[in-house]
Each structure stands twice: as structure tokens, then as C-alpha cells.
Amino acid sequence: MKALRNLLDKQKPHFLKGGKFEKFRAAFDSVETLLYVPDKVTSKGAHIRDAVDMKRTMIVVFIALLPSLIFGMWNIGNNHFLSYGEAHGFWANFLYGLFKMLPIIIVTYGVGLGLEILFAQIRGHEVSEGFFVTGLLIPLIVPPEIPLWQLAIAVAFAVIFGKEVFGGSGMNILNPALLARAFLFFAYPGDISGDKVWIADKADAYSGATPLGDAMVGDFSRFTPDAALDMFMGFMPGSNGETSTLMVLLGGILLVATGIGNWRIILTVFAGGYVMGLLFNMWGANEYMNLPAHYHLVMGGFAFGAIYMATDPVTAAQTKKGMYIYGFLIGMVSILIRVFNPAYPEGVMLAILLMNVFAPLIDHYVIEANIKRRLKRLKLATK
């Protein structure tokens, strides 16, 4: 370890201002801070600081995503072989999925981190860890057959226009991972919707529709009473990592236990979705509306969105009351889009992006209420 530290210390001057590799400072910096927690000490304010930093926070989210990632890889393999009428063991399914997903993950990280380092260099900042998680979220919410060049463009779009133009991680208005998906959705709809894309290298005759796809075209034959459990477990085609509600919940438990994911938002998104489902049940104008409300919670990316996307601390509402409103509306709008909008089978992505835009407004009114309380107290005091 000493040798490595010595090597870094020896090379460091070359990367600092005036050194011969000055242009690669941000890249060197990202490697150094990855290997070593810096030796910087407190100079102002509190003398001790919490052990948590952005890297620690992000690695926990990363770990929380692993169940979904591993299950997703297995599921890709499983669905692929099922479409040919074959059944294989865990490892065969998993390895098939692994080789399908690796290029997607590599392209996402390559493009995203490359841009992050570039911007950090230009701005003279340290490289932010924000993309550490975004880079894993994006592969989990795209179909297994996503063309890599499209993915690369979407990631670049999300990083540059979703984040860096606002000033980088922490300044963005929209969730970058969902923005990448939205970009794909509107730019290349043929490759991210329909019934062809959800199973990797599928046999032609086999139907590859997702439950949401079926529901949208009015085919409710698969929604048998025990299908909900299947959907909860996630044995169905879909985006790479979102199909299993169970795995998503496992990650969710870790996020809530560590205090990184906000339980208020998670709970209210689910509540909002469920209440909207019940409202539709009462209305009951068509078969989709009559679908028992709990199906909505286990279908599609609802749970994944609720736990990993809606809770993004940068783009969510930041006041307690605001969080309740924000989460509840995401849940409701998701189901509203699902049931009412013929063009979009899944509404979570758009609901979250929409509420991302409204989050500052919600917070504004919550804070105004605080200000009014203070002014009222002042009035009473001066009377």
C-alpha cells in the first residue's frame, strides 16, 4: 500500500497546475480519491466530521441495486431461453444475461464518466460521484435489446443537458437516469416499446409483451388472480432490472435503513398509486379501470421508480410536507397515464419527470407557510 501511495505522491505534481499532464487533473483526482480518502483536515467550523461522504452514500445505493441487477441478468437469460421453449439452470440464465448487460453497462459508464471527468476538468472541480449510481440505473431501465449507439447518445444527452448545463450533480432539475430513458423513448420509440424489445434475441413466434403492453391493447387474459405474485417476483419480460418488485423492495429496505432513501416519498408513491387504482375501480368504465389496484403496484417499473427514482434527493421535494405531496402525486399520475394514455404503456417515468419539475413549486408553498407563521408571530408580538 505504501508503494502505491508513494507512486501517487510522486506523480501528483505532474497533474497539478503547471504540470505536464495538467489537462488530466480531474482524471487523476478521481483515481486518487477513489483509492484514498484525502488527507484534508477541517480548517473552519466543526473540527470533526461525519465519516459519510458522497462516495459512501453512492456505494450504498449501488449495493441496494445489486439484487435487481443480478435478478435482472438471470431474468434476461430465463426469458430468452423460455421463448425457445428451453429451460436452463441458474448459471446458464445468469451468464446469458450477464453478457447481454455488460456492454450496456460499459457503454453507459464509459460515456457518462468520460463526460463527468471532462466537465470537472473544465470547471476545476473534483469529479462528482453522481454518475456512479446513474450509470447503473440507466442499464436497469432500458430493454435488453437497446442499440448501444442509441444508449450512448441518450446518456450523453442526459449528462450534458440534464445535469452539466445546470452546474453538475446537485444542481439538476430532472433525474438524469430517467431523462436518458425519456430521450430514448421519444427519439427511438421503436426500440423501447412494443412487444419485440423486451426479450433478448427472442424466438419470432413467441409473444414478448409485458403485462403493461397487454393491458394497453386490452388483453387481460394474463391477469389471473395469482399472476400478481408472478409479477411481484418478476418472472416476466421488461426493462433489464425493474421486473422484480421483490428485489426492488430488498434494495429499498437497505436504502431506508441507511437513511439514504426517504421513506416518506417511497410510501406516498405507493399510496398514491394504490389510491388511484382504487378510484379507477370505483369508476370502472373499462376493463383496465377494473384491474384490482394492487396489480398496478407490481407491474412495470412502478416499484423501481418509487424507490430509486422518485427518492433522488436532488430532484425530489426537499421539505417534509412537500415530500408527501410530491410522492402521492407521482403515484397518482403514474397510474393515470397508464390507464388513460394510449401512447404510453408505462406512466412512472413521465410522472416522476413531471413531478421533478413541480417539486420546487411544492417546496416553495411549504416554505411560504413557514414564513407566514413567522410574520404572524411578529404581528402578535408588536400588537
Partner 1 sequence: MSTVYKIKKGLDIKLLGEAEKTIVDLNAKRYAIKPPDFIGCFPKMLVKEGDKVKTGSPVFYDKYRDNIQFTSPVSGTILEIKRGAKRKLLEVVIESDGKGESVDFGSADVGTTDRDALIEILLKSGVWPVLRQRPYSTIAHPKDNPKAIFISAFDTAPLAPDFDLIVHGQGEAFQTGLDVLSKLTTGKVHLNIDDANTVSKVFLNSRNVEINHFSGPHPASNVSVHVSRIDPLNKGEVIWYLGAQEVLTIGKLFLTGKYDPARIIALTGSEVLKPRYYKTFIGARITNMVSGNISDSKCRYISGNVLTGEKIERDGFVRFYDSMVTIIPEGDNFEFFGWLSPGFNKFSFSGTFPSKLFPNKKYRLDTNINGGNRAFVMTGKLEKVFPFDIYPMQLIKAILVEDIDLMENLGIYEIEEEDFALCEVIDTSKTNIQEIVRNGLDLMRQEMS
Q: DSSP readout, 314-358? A: TTS--SHHHHHHHHHHHHHHHHHHHHH-SS-S--HHHHHHHHHHH
Set of cell numbers at residue 366: 411549504
Closer residue to partner 1 in complex, CB, 23/374: 374
Q: Supply the minimum distance, in Å, between the C-beta of residue 371 and partner 1.
A: 4
Closer residue to partner 1 in complex, CB, 37/102: 37
Q: Supply the minimum distance, in Å, between the C-beta of residue 269 and partner 1.
A: 15
Closer residue to partner 1 in complex, CB, 10/44: 44
Work out the burial of residue 105: count CB atoms within 10 Å of its CB; fewer than 13 is exposed, 13-18 middle, 19 or more buried: middle
Q: Supply the minimum distance, in Å, between the C-beta of residue 159 and partner 1.
A: 15
Coil vs helix vs strand at 198: coil
Residue 242 near residue 68, CB atoms below 8 Å: yes
Set of cell numbers at residue 26: 480531474
The end-to-end CA distance of the chain, in Å, is 69
Q: Supply the minimum distance, in Å, between the C-beta of residue 255 and partner 1.
A: 9
Q: Supply the minimum distance, in Å, between the C-beta of residue 76 and partner 1.
A: 28
Closer residue to partner 1 in complex, CB, 74/132: 132
The binding site for partner 1 (CB under 8 A) comprises 1, 4-5, 33, 35-57, 59-60, 126, 128-130, 167-171, 257-260, 262, 313-314, 316, 318-320, 323, 363, 367, 370-371, 373-375, 377-378, 381-382
Closer residue to partner 1 in complex, CB, 16/52: 52
Cα gap 33→40, rounded to integer Å: 11
Q: Supply the minimum distance, in Å, between the C-beta of residue 83 and partner 1.
A: 40
The CA distances from residue 60 to 57, 260, 346, in Å, are: 5, 8, 28
Coil vs helix vs strand at 288: helix
Closer residue to partner 1 in complex, CB, 203/267: 267
Residue 316 near residue 359, CB atoms below 8 Å: yes
Closer residue to partner 1 in complex, CB, 346/363: 363
Residue 60 near residue 254, CB atoms below 8 Å: yes
The owner of cell 473540527 is 47
Q: Supply the minimum distance, in Å, between the C-beta of residue 332 and partner 1.
A: 22
Q: Supply the minimum distance, in Å, between the C-beta of residue 265 and partner 1.
A: 9
Cα gap 347→333, rounded to integer Å: 7
The C-alpha angle 210, 355, 60, rounded to 5 degrees, equals 75
Cα gap 183→157, rounded to integer Å: 8
Cα gap 208→264, rounded to integer Å: 35
Closer residue to partner 1 in complex, CB, 103/259: 259
Q: Supply the minimum distance, in Å, between the C-beta of residue 254 and partner 1.
A: 9
Closer residue to partner 1 in complex, CB, 295/308: 308
Residue 352: CB partners within 8 Å, gap ≥ 6?
Answer: 175, 178, 305, 309, 310, 330, 334
Q: Give the number of C-alpha atoms closer than 13 A to the C-alpha of residue 39, restricted to the C-beta side.
A: 2
